[in-house]
Amino acid sequence: MTWCSPPALRQAIVLRTAMLSLMAWSAFARPAFAERPAPDVAAGRAEYVRSCARCHGVEGAGDGIDAKRFYPRPRDFRLGIYKFRSTASGTAPTDEDLFRTVTHGLPGSNMPDWPHLDESIRWHLVEYLKSLAPIFQEAPAEPMAVAADPGKPHADLAKGRALYEKLGCAACHGPTGRANGSSAGGLVDDWGMPIRPANLAQGWNYRGGSDAESVMRRFLSGIDGAGMPSYAGTISPEDAWHLAYYVVSLQEPPRWNRIARATRVRGELPKAIDHPAWHQAERTDVRLRSVVTTAGEWAKAPTVTQVAFQVLYDEETLAIKLAWDDPTENTQGPADALAVVFKPAGLAGDVVTLQAWPHEGSSALDLWHWSAATKRAGETLSPNFDVITAGGQAAGIERSSAARYADGRWQVVLQRPLASPDLEGGAVLNPDELPTLAFAIWDGSHASERAVSPWIDVALRPLKPVQHAQE
């Protein structure tokens, strides 16, 4: 056995740590495909036609048969404008940038991930995409210089916040990142399509990645075609990290639950937004999708993309608190509005997604609704949403409500009886079952449209563990 003096031991440990770090970096830095195949544009086109043309069009013009019902619209590859790159603004993305997007997709858009495709096929797709635009020859990839990551413990959030204010980020993204800045409305991209600045609180919806490194690269590269400028040369690579970590600090981690769990209250159910009883209630976040026009076309940039809700109940009554980000408060004319949707008692069969309701001959649903125009809530059975969008007094049976709008966010508290005896045919919420609900939300700025959720089960009693048969 060889014994080391303390200094020698420390030197050996440092050397070993450095070697391990180098090995780990080398493994990370290697291309995902160690032996990249020879370019095969024909194979890439064949896979493109099979997997990509439905959205991006047969010739890559962004005009596929599904293009009009998507937000954002599929990329026109012929223009060579790529939003998410590791390269300087106005230059082509690297091959690795394209490969990464094909492999992992773009969260928050309809661009899916394709990891199930063989890696060689994905590389052939990259070669085919490059053949569609001259930018890859005229303005080849120019990788950006980035500074070393200081790490979260050493990030200066105060400096990041000061940069956020100095650079005018709040003008689009809002003071706390909720996409409610004074310049957020009326934006269009380079193709003339309406766009919205990112809601920085919704990290799950960042298309180019929500980690600090991805955010930092967005500041330095910009997002070509989408109005997000490059700040390379305006801030130092070191300061870009502080700004990135500040933006990451604005993110609110979502709580996606397959089943929303309600909490039983042993006292009076809360009617106020800030009642401490809401601290007991589990929060469930739900993604929303905008309804397209009757022609199957997306018309405006969606503004409401998520709703969070909590449920409290006692022996007779259910209370629900909802919160959603809306960049503008609309209380006059077309107003912001909400509907909690139930399936009425005795309704036979299933009800399709709210994206397809109402339709000709569709069943009436139980609409528990609230409007910012009246600051009142009601509940009624209706075959459509006219009772909400028409404005006026709350239709049907009036329900208890409280609401508040602050810094780009609505919060609403509603109450209704579990059995709703005052509404004939209304939904009966049986604690021994799993009541099902869904949401529809209107931003008054888009009066003819709405954002809707899928159907969600709510557990009003603790769920029993599944009993597995003994082998």
Per-domain residue ranges of the chain? 41-138, 152-249, 259-459
Q: How far apart are CA 305 and CA 431, in angstroms?
A: 29
pLDDT at residue 351 greater than cutoff 90: no
Helix and strand totals (H; E) in the chain: 11, 14
Q: How many other CB atoms sit within 10 Å of the CB of residue 395?
A: 17
Q: Cis omega (within 30 of 0) on the bond before 327?
A: no
> What pLDDT shows up at residue 13?
33
pLDDT digits (tens, 9 = 90+) for 237-276: 999 999 999 999 999 999 999 999 999 998 899 999 999 9
CA distance 374 to 376: 5
Give the model's confidence band at 14: pLDDT under 50 very low, under 70 low, under 90 confident, else very high: very low
Q: Is the alpha carbon torsion for 452, 277, 372, 389 positive or negative?
A: positive
On the question of pLDDT at 362 being above 50, the answer is yes
Give per-residue pLDDT as tens, 199-213: 999 999 999 999 999
Overall CATH class of domain 152-249: mainly alpha
pLDDT band at 297 (very low <50, low <70, confident <90, very high): confident
Q: Rounded to two decimals, what is the model's pTM?
A: 0.87
Task: List residues bridging with 239 in a β-sheet.
Answer: none
Which CATH architecture is the domain 259-459 placed in?
Sandwich (2.60)
pLDDT at 391 over 70: no
Q: Identity (one letter) of the amino acid at 54?
A: R
pLDDT value at 292 more than 60: yes
User: What is the mean pLDDT of the segment spanning 363-380?
Assistant: 94
Q: Is the pLDDT of residue 21 over 50?
A: no
| pLDDT at residue 68 greater than cutoff 70 | yes
- pLDDT for position 376: 93
Over pLDDT 70: what percentage of the chain?
Answer: 89
CATH of 41-138, one of 2.30.30.110, 2.60.120.590, 1.10.3720.10, 1.10.760.10: 1.10.760.10
Domain 152-249 and domain 259-459 have a common topology: no
Model confidence at 7, pLDDT cuts 50, 70, 90, reads very low
Q: What is the pLDDT of residue 227?
A: 86
